Amino acid sequence: MQYIKDHKICYIFDPWDYLGPKRRNLLEQSWAGLFRKYLLEELPVDKVAKHFHSSMGRPTKELYTAIGTLVLQQLHDLSDSEVVSTLAFDTRWHYALDITKESDEDKTMAERTLREYRKIVIDEKLDGYLFGTSTDKLINAFEVDVSRQRMDSSHICSNMHCLGRISLFVNTIKKFLMNLKRRHRDIFDTEISKEIASRYLKKEENGCFAQVKPSKAKKTLKMVSEDLLLLIERFKSHQEVSRLNSFHLLKRVLADQCTVSNQEEEDQKVKVKPSKEVASDSLQNPSDPDATYDGHKGQGYQVQIMETFIPDDERDETKPNLITYVEVEPAHKSDTEALIPAIKKTQRCSCAPKELEADALYGSDENIQAAEELGVKVNAPVMGKKTSDLGLADFSFHKNTNQVKRCPKGQKPEKSWTTKKGQFVSLFLPAHCQDCSHKNQCPVQEGKAGNYLRYSVKQLRLAKRRIYENTQEFQDKYRWRAGIEGTNSYLKSATGAGHLRVRGLSAVTYCVTLKALALNILRASSARKAKILAKNSLDKEILDRIPDRSRGQVLSFFFFTLRGCFIFFARHINRPFDPI
Segment 172-222, tens digit of pLDDT: 999 999 999 999 999 999 988 888 888 888 765 455 565 566 777 788 888
Position 551 pLDDT exceeds 70: no
Residues 399 and 486 in one domain: no
Nearest CA to 436 out of 413, 414, 408, 463 is that of 408
Q: Mean per-residue pLDDT for 506-519? A: 96
Which of 108-122, 386-400, 551-565, 566-580 reaches the highest mean pLDDT? 108-122
Q: Indicate whether 287 belongs to any domain.
A: no
Let me know whether 362 and 473 are in one domain.
yes
Strands of 422-467 (E only): list them.
Answer: 424-428, 445-446, 451-455
**Which domain CATH number covers 468?**
3.30.420.10
Residue 379 forms beta bridges with which residues? 357
Q: Give per-residue pLDDT as tens, 457-498.
A: 888 888 888 888 889 999 999 999 999 999 999 999 999 998
135 and 69 in a single domain? The answer is no
Does position 436 have pLDDT exceeding 90, yes or no? Answer: no
On the question of pLDDT at 99 being above 50, the answer is yes
pLDDT category at 579 given cuts 50, 70, 90 is: very low
Is pLDDT of 386 > 50?
yes
Number of separate helices (H) and strands (E) present in the chain:
23, 14
Q: Report how far residue 111's alpha carbon sits from residue 523's, in angstroms, rounded to the nearest whole number.
A: 29
**Which of 461, 489, 507 delimits the end of a domain?**
461
- Domain end position, chosen among 461, 486, 505: 461
Which range has the top average pLDDT, 192-201, 370-379, 452-461, 557-566? 370-379
Same domain, 118 and 135: no
Task: Note whether 73 and 97 are within 8 A (CB).
Answer: no
> Do 554 and 568 sit in the same domain of this protein?
yes
In this prediction, residues 535-560 reach a mean pLDDT of 61
pLDDT tier at 552 (50, 70, 90 boundaries)?
Answer: low
Total domains in the fold of the chain: 4
Residues 73, 3, single domain; the answer is yes
Is residue 526 very low, low, confident or very high in pLDDT (cuts 50, 70, 90)? very high
Q: What is the pLDDT of residue 75?
A: 95
- The SS3 of residue 228 is helix
Q: pLDDT at residue 558 above 50?
A: yes
Which stretch of 33-37, 47-51, 433-437 has the lowest confidence by average pLDDT? 433-437
Asked if the model's pLDDT at residue 228 lies above 80, the reply is yes
What confidence category does residue 420 fall into, taking pLDDT thresholds of 50, 70 and 90?
A: confident
153 and 189 part of one domain: no
- Please give the residue that has the higher pLDDT: either 6 or 94: 94
User: Do residues 34 and 77 both lie within one domain?
Assistant: yes
400 and 474 both lie in a single domain: no
**Strand partners for 397:** 404
> Is residue 238 a part of any domain in this protein?
yes
Indicate if the pLDDT at residue 135 is higher than 90.
yes
Domain membership flag for residue 290: no
- Residue 578's pLDDT band (boundaries 50, 70, 90)? very low
Spatial neighbors of 557 by CB under 8 A, at least 6 apart, are none
Residue 387 pLDDT greater than 70, yes or no:
no
Instruction: Based on the fold, state whether residues 220 and 273 are members of the same structural domain.
Output: yes
Query: Which residue spans within 364-490 are E strands per DSSP?
Result: 377-379, 396-397, 404-406, 415-418, 424-428, 445-446, 451-455
* Domain final position from 461, 491, 509: 461
The answer to the question of residue 288 being in a domain is no
Whether residue 263 lies inside any domain: the answer is yes
Alpha-carbon separation of residue 412 from 80, 405, 442, 451 (angstroms): 73, 6, 15, 12
Domain assignment present for 448? yes
Is residue 439's pLDDT more than 60? yes
Q: In angstroms, what CA-CA distances link 361 with 155, 233, 296, 332, 337?
A: 15, 44, 14, 14, 9
Residue 6 and residue 98 share a domain: yes
Same domain, 374 and 481: yes
E strand intervals along 311-371: 323-330, 355-357
Q: For the whole model, what pTM was predicted? A: 0.83
In a domain, 501, yes or no: yes
User: What pLDDT score does 13 carry?
Assistant: 84
Whether residue 425 contacts residue 454, with contact meaning beta carbons closer than 8 Å, is answered with yes
pLDDT at residue number 205: 47
Does 566 score more than 80 pLDDT? no
Is 41 within a domain?
yes
Range of the domain at 61: 1-124
User: What integer best gives the mean pLDDT of the chain?
Assistant: 86
